[in-house]
Amino acid sequence: MSRIGKLPVQVPSGVSVRIDGQDIAVKGGKGELSLRLVDDVTATQEDGAVVVTPRDDSKRARSMWGMQRSLVQNMVTGVSNGFEIDLEIQGVGYRAAVQGKTLNLQLGFSHDVAFPIPDGVAIACERPTMIKVSGIDKQLVGQVAAKIRSYRPPEPYKGKGVRYVGEYIFRKEGKKK
């Protein structure tokens, strides 16, 4: 039994869920998301909640059960509350700025990095060293944040680079005389 899979996904008020065979569409105040479930699980709507169950007792059905339930939960959370990831930039002269549909990053290279902001994601810079990535699709928000971080990951000696807020960077001691 999957501990995650057996929990029903509670649907808050203001969010509507439509189940059509293996297709699930979730609509809320922030937008609309859809998902096609794998054939090994089924979804039903009971008492204002979505219940995901495996079709049979095969190993694949049991392994897909919890993952598909988590994907449905992420869709419901995304259209009701949304997701956001905060990044911070550390380093002398390192900064970020949003210009139209482009995020311009100055990360110590000989040129600025121009990152085109994809559809479905909003990027804001309250300060030149803080980046807020937000949207309704958890996977897309995480992927965009990871891509921005990958341009200059934090290095272990001085800690310079782009990091998630609250991320611990293992620091190393520099060379000795």
Confidence of residue 130 (pLDDT cuts 50, 70, 90): very high
Model confidence, pTM: 0.86
Mean pLDDT computed over 57-82: 90
| Weakest-pLDDT range from 1-5, 84-88, 125-129 | 1-5
Q: What number of other Cβ atoms are within 10 A of residue 21's Cβ?
A: 9
**Tokens 């169950």, residue located:** 53
Residues 46-55 as b/e (b if ≥16 CB within 10 A, e otherwise) read eeeebbbebe
For residue 3, pLDDT beyond 90: no
Superfamily of domain 83-164: Ribosomal protein L6 (3.90.930.12)
* Residue 177: pLDDT over 90: no
Residue 1 reports pLDDT greater than 80: no
Fold of the domain built from segment(s) 9-80: Outer Surface Protein A; domain 3 (3.90.930)
Write out pLDDT tens, residues 111-126. 999 999 999 899 999 8
Question: What residue spans define the domains of the chain?
Answer: 9-80, 83-164
Q: Do domains 9-80 and 83-164 have the same CATH topology?
A: yes
Cβ within 8 Å of residue 88, ≥6 positions away: 129, 130, 131, 162, 163, 164, 165
Residue 72's pLDDT band, with cuts at 50, 70 and 90, is very high
